[in-house]
Amino acid sequence: MILQTGRHTKAMFLVAAGLLLLMSPSSGLSEETTLALGQLPSVPIPSHNLQFNSKVELGKLLFFDPRLSKDDSVSCASCHVPAAGFADPRQFSLGVGGKQGGRNAPSAMNAAYNHLQFWDGRAGSLEEQALGPIQNPIEMAETLNGVVTKLSRVKVYQARFQAVFGDDVSADGIAKAIAAFERTLISTNSPFDRSIAGDKSALSGSAQRGLELFQGKARCVLCHNGPNFTDNKFHHIGVPQTGPLREDVGRYAVTKREADRRAFKTPSLRSVALTAPYMHTGGFKTLDEVVDFYNGGGEAVPGKDAFMSALNLTDQEKKDLVEFMNSLTGELTNMAPPKLP
């Protein structure tokens, strides 16, 4: 139990969460498990990159500027599309020259709350994440020196970097500005948020039943918990391998721990209705397909997390669960590209 729906359910999920903490390949016993679903807290701001409007505005320009790529064709917004919940509506993201990646780009919305970035958690901050795609040969295929050189030729960027950082264009400034902008991409004030704030009419009857299922029979809350609907951990749930990669080893590529093989980060479910297709493979086109996958217990593969088993949801229960996930759609649903210098 996460909301106030009964002591028995609460006890059951506290025990289940404890078991999951022990079973999760990327969990540590020292980590505190926060289960409570609720409204988002203030966005965490690192002391080395304080937030102010001119920095955010610079970051927005950089986020939408294709000059960060080698041939000036791909921007951050190319794969983190505002109208798609800052995710990629294509199954696999495309980089410079039409090169195809092996994963669907995760949403940048609410990434400010993530402990680690990317599906495999290889970046420890938004600042580190911002520079990764620029240098990735199948994404932007540029070098940091190349980007700095290009932007330094633009008078508007010269002036803005001096105003924000008191210095010339730099890779560090690019990372900090983009990260500052991404910390404004917050999905909140959803029907769910309004409901827990006291608006009894915010959730439909179907969504209310879906919330009960989410916390109960469907067991979604074991991983999708906390205000951002993620445990910030990595799990192997038996997603079928599709796309150009023969095997995507997931978190294992970072940790080299066999227990992390094919484990991927639990994504936030806030505004999840906007971010199709789903999973790191982009293999499910709709939330209905996702629910069917979980209802069947995932693909029968070695090493799958122990909690993945058939749910035996009825057709109506599956519809109610999807209706609840639809109720997590917040106010940030689109954003017009800025006029680039």
Active site residues: 139
Rounded CA-CA distance 14/170 in Å is: 47
Question: H-helix or E-strand containing 325?
Answer: helix 315-326
Tokens of 100: 């195809």
Rounded CA-CA distance 180/59 in Å is: 6
Q: What is the 3-state secondary structure (H, E, C) of 133-146?
A: HHHCCCCCCCCHHH
Whole-angstrom CA distances from 228 to 28, 141, 166, 186, 197 are 20, 32, 35, 10, 16
333: Cβ contacts below 8 Å, ≥ 6 apart = 83, 85, 271, 274
The amino acid at 82: P
Alpha carbon of residue 231 to chain centroid:
12
Whole-angstrom CA distances from 225 to 200, 260, 329, 331, 333 are 22, 21, 16, 21, 22
CB distance 103 to 280 below 8 Å: yes
Rounded CA-CA distance 67/224 in Å is: 36
Q: Alpha-carbon Rg of the chain, whole angstroms?
A: 20
